[in-house]
A and B are shown apart, each in its own frame.
Chain A
Amino acid sequence: MRSRTVRPAPPIHFSLWARISLAIPVIIVLGFIYVPILLIMLLSFQGPQGGATFPIRDPGTLWYRSLTDLSVITDHPDYLGQAVFDFRASIGNSLKLAVTTAVVSTTIAMAAAQAMRSGFRGGRLATYAILLGIVTPGLAVSLGLVTVSSELGITSGLFTTGIVAHIVWTMPFSFLLFMVLFNRFDRQLEEAAYTLGASRLEAFFTVTVPVMKPAVIGSFLFAFMLSFDEYAHSIFIMGADRTLPLMLVSAAQLRITPSIFALGVLIITVSLILLLAYVVNVRRTFRRQELQGA
């Protein structure tokens, strides 16, 4: 029996002119993404006197070092007394929140996707309910949370209101990822495990979880990055604990310093490395699964 698979479309032969004109929008989009990123990469190596614009004076890694130790700037002989920002506390807060959010949202999403897979009354309604978390404007979620929590006498903070808003935001993405990968999942694997005498729990941990590893890792990474970068779901509700995006926006409104760029470069680089590692890993896993299946 030959299963009908969708093959990639045949190549179309375009004239050189057609190719060039079709490449223009691509170049514009890539330009708008990468030219600014390249610029802040250069500007993040600005010297102590230089600001957020060209030219670069006395290039060095000063602003990177200032992220962990502000005195590098303030004790510098060329320091002009301009505003500098201390991001350390907010980075710590964001990391703590993002890790917790990622763990919780992966756990809940996997449970929810597992439940949806078996199908139950109201399952579709529940799916829509989960996805509402993506569609609802973050500002409204934050506002709702802060009014309710103050009504209930809950102090807003990182691990009270903050984490709830972030899980409402990240969990639907994790859930979608699990749903997509569960669709590829071969039911017979689990059934084979049952036939061989495994209990449901054993089958879940020895068969389902290992096969779903790409989704678990992906959901963790994705939720982590979403939470770490999230701004709209963070305003009003963090109380005294400021997260990094909050800090970045208020700093950017006051004064743009090269330390903001240095931080931006670090975050972009780390995100790209994580993404690349994940893509490579998933491709390898899928290829192995396909080979084993063949």
Chain B
Amino acid sequence: MLFSFWTGTSVGMHSELTTSNYTNILTGRTFWETVRWTLQVLAIVLACSTIIGVLVAYFAARVVAIEWVRTALVFLLFVPFVVSYVIRMITWIPLFGRAGLLNTALTEANILDEPSDLFLYTSPSMVTALIFLYVAFIIGPTFFKLRQLDEDLLRAAQNLGASPFKTFWSVELPLARPGIVVGWIFVSVMILSDFATERIIGGGLSPLLAGTVWRRAEVLLWPQASAQAAVLVVITLAIAAGLLRFAQLERDL
């Protein structure tokens, strides 16, 4: 019932359009540059947060030997799931802002002559923010997958003389892949729909796709915004569906 309402809404969104909005947008160069930039940011963030996320999940699942330490660590890493990114984003400002602690510390230590704007309101700062805002969503599923692995498999690998790295690379990592892919889906979806990070931390200079939709809608260009939003939805669903197929989640979960 709810879903029918939802389809209703997106169908309604289409019904407002004439094809001219689509042709305008689909042939516009700036729009495709935004799409390319968004996908580029997404790829960088996914690559970095996969490396970081898998390492952290591995640490929590395998290296920590004491059970309560593991529980505490997982709990600490769980915070991003319950505290909204709006609040977590705001927490960045006193640390990385122009008058923030990092700048103050660096200028006091004479590493910088004057406060730098690099830590906030730039594209690198936006990418860093996106990585650390969402990396927990890769850590979580990967950790649970790693904890579910069968003891006998790992014992077998060890008995056959595999080093921990070899075991990780050829046994644990492939088996944890569904978890990682679930994380990728989470992160992709969230980055594609995130427009506030880019504005508050990225400085609004290099908008991602969702940001351009927002800007259009803010100035009440509803039809154009809707056409772009439709492209955004298509891209998001295509990425999610592609990743789903890649992981063959139904078989593995």
Q: Do A and B come together as binding partners?
A: yes
Asked if A143 is at the interface of the complex by the 8 Å CB criterion, the answer is: yes
Asked if B3 and A133 make an inter-chain contact with CB atoms under 8 angstroms apart, the answer reads: yes
Stretch of A69-77, A78-86, A246-254 on the interface side:
A246-254
Given A6-B148, A25-B59, A147-B13: A132 touches B94 (CB 8 Å cut-off):
no
Asked if A293 is at the interface of the complex by the 8 Å CB criterion, the answer is: no
Asked if B82 and A135 make an inter-chain contact with CB atoms under 8 angstroms apart, the answer reads: no
Stretch of A59-67, A196-204, A209-217, A225-233 on the interface side:
A225-233
Asked if B62 is at the interface of the complex by the 8 Å CB criterion, the answer is: yes
> Taking the nearest CB of chain A, how far is it from the CB of B72, in angstroms?
11
Asked if A99 is at the interface of the complex by the 8 Å CB criterion, the answer is: no
> Taking the nearest CB of chain B, how far is it from the CB of A225, in angstroms?
5
Asked if A252 and B193 make an inter-chain contact with CB atoms under 8 angstroms apart, the answer reads: no
Asked if A39 and B95 make an inter-chain contact with CB atoms under 8 angstroms apart, the answer reads: yes
For chain A, the count of residues having a C-beta within 8 Å of the partner chain is 78
Asked if B135 and A10 make an inter-chain contact with CB atoms under 8 angstroms apart, the answer reads: no
Asked if B2 and A168 make an inter-chain contact with CB atoms under 8 angstroms apart, the answer reads: yes
Stretch of A185-193, A272-280, A284-292 on the interface side:
A272-280
**CB-CB contacts of A28-45 with B at 8 A, as 1s and 0s?**
111011111101100100
Asked if A52 and B93 make an inter-chain contact with CB atoms under 8 angstroms apart, the answer reads: yes
Asked if B8 is at the interface of the complex by the 8 Å CB criterion, the answer is: yes
Asked if B83 and A40 make an inter-chain contact with CB atoms under 8 angstroms apart, the answer reads: no
Given A140-B10, A225-B82: A249 touches B196 (CB 8 Å cut-off):
yes
Instruction: Point out the residues of chain B lying under 8 angstroms from A108, CB to CB.
Output: 1-2
Q: A54 vs B92: C-alpha distance in the bound complex, in angstroms?
A: 14
Q: A151 vs B14: C-alpha distance in the bound complex, in angstroms?
A: 12
Asked if A39 and B101 make an inter-chain contact with CB atoms under 8 angstroms apart, the answer reads: yes
B189 partner, pick from A9, A135, A279, beta carbons under 8 A: A135
For chain B, the count of residues having a C-beta within 8 Å of the partner chain is 84
Asked if A148 and B13 make an inter-chain contact with CB atoms under 8 angstroms apart, the answer reads: yes
B58 partner, pick from A22, A36, A144, A229, beta carbons under 8 A: A22
Asked if A135 and B240 make an inter-chain contact with CB atoms under 8 angstroms apart, the answer reads: yes
> Taking the nearest CB of chain A, how far is it from the CB of B35, in angstroms?
14
Q: A136-B6, A252-B89 are in contact. List 16 more A-B contacts (CB 8 A).
A: A14-B164, A25-B56, A29-B77, A32-B132, A40-B90, A135-B185, A137-B192, A140-B233, A143-B225, A144-B12, A144-B229, A164-B2, A249-B200, A264-B91, A272-B79, A275-B78
Can you list 9 A-B contacts (CB < 8 A)? A6-B151, A29-B56, A135-B236, A143-B222, A144-B9, A144-B229, A148-B8, A148-B9, A267-B84
B-side residues, CB < 8 A to A, are 1-3, 5-6, 8-10, 12-13, 16, 52, 55-56, 58-63, 65, 73, 75-80, 82-95, 97, 99-101, 104, 132, 135-136, 139, 147-151, 154-155, 158, 164, 167, 185, 189, 192-196, 199-200, 210, 213-214, 217, 222, 225-226, 229-230, 232-233, 236-237, 240
Name the 4 nearest CB pairs between A and B, nearest first.
A229-B84, A137-B193, A36-B91, A148-B12
